[in-house]
Structure 1
């Protein structure tokens, strides 16, 4: 049985305590184009929904504050006729106060953890807008922000390699 003291110590250094507060959330931009209603169409249709996600983060002028946004582009077409049903674009942002995150971990923290905190609120808005537009509420599946982050890193690395190859 280990005794308290040197066996469990980590050299007297503790990992910094991470603090994150959501200072506010807001819809920066929202567009819902109800194409089917404009054409006068109605009736039961099987929608085919395509969702594109983009993330952005930037430092604010106030110390330890960052703005993180999730931009969704939701394109819905009829499975049978491929006619456009609706197009929804939303830019949803949150202002975060973050302390204790090491500099090398800040970028993934901002683009993974912060969007995870915003997503339930964004999901609710998308559900309400599509329901109010006359469609069944669109309940978005969970988004894997880790996978999006890794894909963006890989895309940037490929672009950098292609640029270096072009210069050679």
Structure 2
């Protein structure tokens, strides 16, 4: 399934105006997926409402073809019964999109890949998670509130801390 989108922009008024940003989703696929139905494997049935913990990781890398990038959303969901009860299920999903991205300035490429591209993939990932948990015998978790901008900012702050840590120890 391929989708193309362009950002709205006014028509260039002079030869120096930037070309509009182009993004095309070339392919999307599940790289890795695991659903462990822990409670049912033990022969038990769930009691009470599940407490859901969701971890989201993002990754992007350049591909060999010009202007092509691979963007991955790595999702891990742990569900346990409330009040630190037994684990109900664990779902891990690595969902990847291949994108053709053109006319994005180098300084803005990283945020574009780590925010806009996951936004394009997210509805498909959400559907897979919904179907997997439902088919596993559990109510699907709500994934409506994933903020890719906040995840990007957290990743950038973590990288800055990691880069500053070696410098601080070298001074001492």
1:36 to 39, 46, 70: 39
2:23 to 20, 23, 33: 20
Counterparts of 1:36 and 1:22, CA distance in 2: 38
Counterparts of 1:50 and 1:116, CA distance in 2: 21
The answer to whether residue 147 in structure 2 is matched with residue 163 in structure 1 is no
The gaps in structure 2 that reach 5 residues or longer are 1-11
Residue pair 1:34, 1:87 contacting (<8 A) in 2 also: yes
Residue pairs, 1:144-163, within 5 angstroms: 144-163=147-166
Matched residue, 1:106: 109
Aligned pairs, how many?
A: 160
**1:28, CA displacement in angstroms?**
0.2
Counterparts of 2:109 and 2:33, CA distance in 1: 28
- Runs of 4+ residues deviating >3 angstroms: 9-12
Residue pairs, 1:2-81, within 5 angstroms: 13-80=16-83
The gaps in structure 1 that reach 5 residues or longer are 1-8
Matched residue, 1:125: 128
Matched residue, 1:6: none
Matched residue, 2:85: 82
**1:94, CA displacement in angstroms?**
0.2
Task: Give the RMSD, CA atoms, in angstroms.
Answer: 1.5
Counterparts of 2:28 and 2:149, CA distance in 1: 22
> Secondary structure at the residue paired with 2:139?
coil
Q: Whose Rg is larger?
A: 1
